Amino acid sequence: MFGNLFEEEESEGFSSASPKERAAKGTDEPPPPRGRSHLCGIKNQGGTCYLNSLLQTLLFTPEFREELFRLGPQELGCLEDKDKPEAKVRVIPLQLQRLFTRLLLVDQQCASTTDLTDSFGWNSSQGTNQQDVQELNRILFSALEHSLVGTSGSTFIHRLYHGTIVNSIVCKECGNISQRQEDFLDLTVCVCGVSSLEEALWNMFVEEEMFEGTNLYCCARCDRLVTAAKSAKLKKLPPFMTMSLLRFSFDFSKLERYKETGRYSFPLTINLRPFCEQTDGDDTDFTYDLFSVIIHKGGCYGGHYHVYIKDIDELGRWEPPDEDCKPKTQIKIKEVKEVCEPKLQEDDPLSVLTTIISQESPKSVLIDQLGQKLMDKIGSSWSKKFRRQYGPIGKFLHSHSDVFMLVSNGTRVALKANPPSPATECPAPADKATEPTAAGSATSDREQEIKPEGSHWFDLNDSTVTSIRESDIEKQFQGKESAYMLFYRKTQLFRPSKALNNPLYKVPSQLIQMAQDENIQLQQKREQFEASNNTVELQLHLAPFYRLDNGALQPISTEPSGITALSFDRRKTVGDLRLTIYQMQELWEGDMALTVAKSLPAGLHLYNTLTADDVSLYSVGIHTNSDLFVWNGREVCGATVQTGAEWEPVLLTVVRPFLGEDFEQEAQNGIECKQSKCENGGPGLKREARGFAGGATLVEVREALGEPKESLLCQRQRGGKGGEQGAGEGGGASGWRVFPPDDMHRTLKDLSLKDGDALLVLEPESLDSR
């Protein structure tokens, strides 16, 4: 009937990392440690949030947890023997013990339920097809009871959770009472048409159903149809009461499912005496405290479960939710603003101007913008509103020098430190002195809240655990996200002081040892993963193997002997790296500087030098495949090296006209020569790739090329006639733009020249030939 009612929406809970993310992190990435709450979540296998919520509830039920841990290997067997035919191994309780131990003691953010669901015989598809958590509660208890048959724990589920209802029918003719008893594991209570749990229980166990009119009861004693009254009472109360709320219904007129989202309240403490057959005894015999609320978020065709749980044994570290302090701060700020900021009186220019200036973040306004801000504030200009009575705005400001002052060389107007307000006086100094006390009080309140006494509530949402307030439970009375199962515990149940803040309490020694071994393994894996994840591969370029040429560093030899590969932990400091390189280069003498380098088309270029020895490589931005240049920090082969982005070299194509008879000689020198394609013949062009420092001026470029001062440098016009390669070659100047004299003193970087750009050099003789 309910189909995929409990299938989990993709937006909640489980989400798997992409293959790229897994590859980046490594397949052996260990789980992270527990969060600030010190509590452990449970992984969502894909639609198993209903199972996670129930398991967390059972874990935080102290009596259930201790009954489970009381069963030892003598009764349950060992998982190592489960494949032996002669061995009797009770897999379900053993896996549940292990899961609870991991949730209590293993330092990981979340645990896996895969081993437990495998013990149920669930395959992968059954694990991801979400069921009803109310149904699962019965299935899990039934499977556990069946698995414990023949052990000392065979009855503990019955003792903790099973109760008895007695149904009675009283004949109104003879008074004969017909009774029938039935056991219950949980009470299924109606939501439709009622507003609270108490009202639903009243309808179930106090109100009588009458058999009358055409609907009569056949009395065995009277042997005829008679008027009768039917009622039900709670005969035996278990230590734990589970209430299953009927949130989902079926509309037979519309033939569709719907969820009851109306308000349905339930108490934190409930007295069940009015609903019981026997009402003698103390109130503690009938009183229960709420300790778990399983919540369903969503609609009829999909949703997500999470659970609010009361930490009875105070196993977690409760902190006040972050938003608790925000409203107090906001209220405080609002109160201060209401007191200190002048109240706006639109007919009073002093009130308007002081309000405008006080609301600006720098507490001052540009004088030429004051008129516009006034218009924005009151919808009218100064000239129209105030000029006739008060004169120009500048004159008004000067006439109220006790309120306003000019700052920033007379360009801005600000309020003096304590200007008199025409509408509201600011608090006196004595009042202001009370503000730190109030702030201190708020801080004190927060410090007291961080160290709470007694049990507190947490929201366990799959792998995420967060602190909540008890008042947050009221938010689950209604709406699409609302309570679905309620778990109550008898108030009279006592917890020993040894159990408080003690996750080891009653955990068997062999399971404690298992948790300790897993913690050691996890720590080792984390250390190995961190070391592997922080190891970077560096390329060390040694200065003796380089020379400065054409604005960049070039290797002296084609042999790769000047490059050394080094694997290093980026968490270590620059000083550690320098010491390691010193040890590698036994013959190194003098200072050693490590400078970040980068291979560019023009050659190797140096950027920033790592100077702070106590800073980690990670902090200075060193990553894998980084290039580092090892030198003395001043020169390479006697040549001074300019570093930094402003000196980044540019590889330009230098173009010169050439005569046809020079073709063979130029080709032998490795210079590209190209015959003209113009119909009228004429000179061709020769091209040569040359690197220049980005901080060099065109004058310096011309000098580096060995050209006389009379030579002209030209740039290809972008998007012009000569925009395509080879265009404009006919006369050597078509499609080119001559750099004006002012540009000759600008740097290549300032001129935005980039790698591959062409630079035409026109020598005096080539100009004469034209």
Alpha helix positions (H), 108-150: 114-120, 124-128, 133-147
Question: In the predicted model, what is the mean pLDDT of residues 255-279?
Answer: 91
pLDDT value at residue 21? 41
The CATH fold assigned to 342-423 is: Arc Repressor Mutant, subunit A (1.10.10)
Q: What is the pLDDT of residue 186?
A: 94
Mean pLDDT of 487-508: 96
- Look at 27-36, 227-236, 732-741 and tell me which has the smallest mean pLDDT: 732-741
Percent of the chain residues past pLDDT 90, beyond the cut: 50
Residue 668 binned pLDDT confidence (cut-offs 50, 70, 90)? low
Evaluate whether 172 touches 229 at the Cβ level (below 8 Å): yes
Whole-number percent of the chain with pLDDT over 70: 80
Q: Phi and psi of 599, rounded to 5°?
A: -80, 120
* CATH class of the domain at 650-769: alpha beta
pLDDT at site 449: 38
Q: What is the pLDDT of residue 530?
A: 86
Kindly report the backbone phi and psi dihedral angles of residue 431, in degrees, each rounded to the nearest multiple of 5, phi listed first: -70, -40
- Give the integer Cα–Cα distance in Å for 314 and 323: 22
What tens digit of pLDDT does each residue of 431-473 get? 433 334 333 444 444 433 333 456 799 999 999 999 999 999 9
Read off φ and ψ for residue 461, nearest 5 degrees.
Answer: -120, 85
Pairwise pLDDT comparison (402 vs 615), residue with the higher score: 615
Token readout for 592 is: 């050693």
Instruction: Please give the average per-residue pLDDT across 467-480, as a whole number.
Output: 94
275-295 per-position pLDDT tens digit: 999 989 899 999 999 999 999
User: What phi, psi does 645 have (nearest 5°)?
Assistant: -65, -30
Q: What is the pLDDT of residue 447?
A: 39
Residues 6+ positions from 452 with CB-CB distance below 8 Å: 318
- The answer on pLDDT for 606 being more than 50 is yes
CB 294 within 8 A of CB 54: yes
Tokens representing 598 are 């980068």
Kind and range of the H or E run holding 405: strand 404-407
Secondary-structure class of domain 159-299+311-322+483-489 per CATH = alpha beta
Residue intervals in the chain for CATH 3.10.20.90: 534-646, 650-769
Q: Is the pLDDT of residue 730 over 80?
A: no
| pTM > 0.85 | no
Residues designated as active site: 49, 304
Residue 336: pLDDT band by 50, 70, 90 thresholds? very low
What pLDDT does residue 695 have? 92
Read off φ and ψ for residue 635, nearest 5 degrees. Answer: -145, 160
Class of domain 534-646: alpha beta
pLDDT at 169 over 90: yes
DSSP symbols for 643-667 = -SGGG--EEEEEEEEE-GGGHHHHH
Q: What digits encode the pLDDT tens for the residues 88-144?
A: 899 999 999 999 999 999 999 999 999 998 887 765 444 434 456 678 888 899 999
pLDDT score recorded for residue 341: 45
Q: Distance between CA 402 and CA 414 in Å, rounded?
A: 11
Question: Range(s) for CATH 3.90.70.10 in the chain?
Answer: 159-299+311-322+483-489
